């Protein structure tokens, strides 16, 4: 999972971010939002839009439940704060990204290993 605050959600901006993060040989599954149209023309091997608006929830057994699970997880955690300042949202989002990406392991141990590799000073 990679999260990033994107001020400009244009096709060019999003496809630029995708191009920086995903190998062109990958198959991409998206929610069918129009900004993702043209990924194959941009050089990616395959793009499979899953269009919930058309009552489509999977294509040949492939779905986008992973990203939906992340947002559900994040929304539940944010709800415990009854709102946060807009300026804090990027930090909370990165925390949830970290937690989600490490949800199957020992989060405490993972954090300690990270801190040993990249020490920080106050």
Mean pLDDT, rounded, for 20-30 = 88
pTM to 2 decimal places: 0.70
Residue 71 falls inside a structural domain: yes
Taking each helix axis from N to C end, the angle separating 65-79 and 89-101, rounded to the nearest 10 degrees, works out to 130
pLDDT in tens, 35-47: 888 888 888 888 8
Which CB contacts under 8 angstroms, 24+ apart, belong to 112-116?
Answer: none
pLDDT of residue 64: 73
Domains in the chain: how many in total?
Answer: 1
Residue 3 falls inside a structural domain: no
Residue 122 has pLDDT above 60, yes or no: no
Residue 2 falls inside a structural domain: no
Among 24-28, 30-34, 72-76, the least confident range? 30-34
- The answer to whether 56 and 50 have CB atoms below 8 angstroms apart is yes
Which CB contacts under 8 angstroms, 24+ apart, belong to 106-111?
Answer: none
Cβ count within 10 A of residue 58: 12
**C-alpha closest to that of 22 among 50, 42, 37, 8:** 42
Residue 1 has pLDDT above 90, yes or no: no
pLDDT of residue 90: 93
pLDDT in tens, 53-104: 666 676 667 777 778 888 888 899 889 988 889 999 999 999 999 988 888 9
Which range of residues forms the domain containing residue 58?
11-117
pLDDT of residue 106: 93
- Vertex 44: Cα angle to 53 and 100 (nearest 5): 65
């Amino acid at each position: 999972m990679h999260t990033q605050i994107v001020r400009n959600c244009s096709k060019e901006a999003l496809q630029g971010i995708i191009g920086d993060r995903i190998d062109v040989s990958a198959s991409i599954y998206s929610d069918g939002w129009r900004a993702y149209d043209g990924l194959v023309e941009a050089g990616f091997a395959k793009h499979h839009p899953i269009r919930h608006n058309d009552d489509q929830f999977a294509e040949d057994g492939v779905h986008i439940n992973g990203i939906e699970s992340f947002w559900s997880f994040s929304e539940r955690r944010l709800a415990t704060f009854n709102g946060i300042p807009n300026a804090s949202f990027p930090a909370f989002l990165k925390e949830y990204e970290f937690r989600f990406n490490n949800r199957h392991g020992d989060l405490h141990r993972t954090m300690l290993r990270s801190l040993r590799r990249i020490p920080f000073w106050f």
